[in-house]
Homo-oligomer: A and B are copies of this chain.
Amino acid sequence: MARAFGEIAGHPPGSTFPDRRALSRAGVHRPTQHGISGSQTEGADSIVVSGGYEDDQDDGDLIVYTGAGGRDPATGRQIADQELSDQNLALALSATDGLPVRVIRGRGGNPARSPVTGYRYDGLFRVDDFWDEAGRSGFKVIRYRLEKLPAEPIEAIGPSVTTGTPGPAPRVNARTQRIVRNTAVTQRVKELHGHRCQVCGEVVETATGPYAEGAHVRPLGRPHDGPDVEANVLCLCPTDHVRLDYGGIVITDDLDVVNALTGVAIGPLRTIPGHRIDLAHVRYHRQVRTF
Q: Which residues of A contact B (CB under 8 A)?
A: 1-10, 27, 57, 59, 61-62, 64, 83-84, 96-100, 124-126, 128-129, 131-133, 142-143, 145, 147-162, 167-184, 202, 204-208, 211, 213, 219, 221-224, 228, 237-239, 241-243, 246-248, 259-261, 287-291
> In whole angstroms, what is the CA distance A168 to B8 when docked?
6
Q: Which residue of B lies closest to A200 (CB)?
A: B239
Contacts A6-B159, A62-B222, A143-B223 given; 8 further ones with Cβ under 8 A? Answer: A2-B171, A9-B170, A97-B177, A131-B288, A174-B182, A207-B261, A207-B289, A237-B239
> In whole angstroms, what is the CA distance A209 to B168 when docked?
30
- Whether B260 lies near A133 (C-beta < 8 A) is no
* With A9-B170, A177-B96: A222-B64 Cβ-Cβ less than 8 Å: yes
Query: Which residue, A27, A61, A149, has most C-beta atoms of chain B within 10 A?
Result: A149
Partner pick for A290 among B132, B174, B177, CB 8 A cutoff: B132
> In whole angstroms, what is the CA distance A259 to B247 when docked?
31
* With A160-B153, A248-B206: A172-B242 Cβ-Cβ less than 8 Å: no
A290 contacts across to B, CB distance below 8 A = 132
CB distance from A290 to the nearest CB of B (A): 7
> In whole angstroms, what is the CA distance A205 to B83 when docked?
39
- Whether B207 lies near A5 (C-beta < 8 A) is no
- Whether B98 lies near A223 (C-beta < 8 A) is no
Give the 6 A-B residue pairs with the shortest CB-CB distance, closest first: A207-B247, A6-B172, A238-B238, A206-B246, A131-B288, A5-B172
> In whole angstroms, what is the CA distance A148 to B4 when docked?
30
Partner pick for A4 among B61, B126, B168, B260, CB 8 A cutoff: B168
- Whether B160 lies near A207 (C-beta < 8 A) is no
Can you list 30 A-B contacts (CB < 8 A)? A6-B159, A6-B172, A9-B168, A57-B223, A64-B223, A96-B246, A124-B158, A126-B156, A131-B224, A133-B288, A145-B223, A150-B157, A154-B157, A156-B157, A157-B157, A173-B181, A173-B183, A173-B184, A175-B179, A175-B181, A176-B179, A176-B182, A177-B182, A179-B179, A205-B259, A207-B248, A207-B261, A208-B247, A211-B248, A239-B239
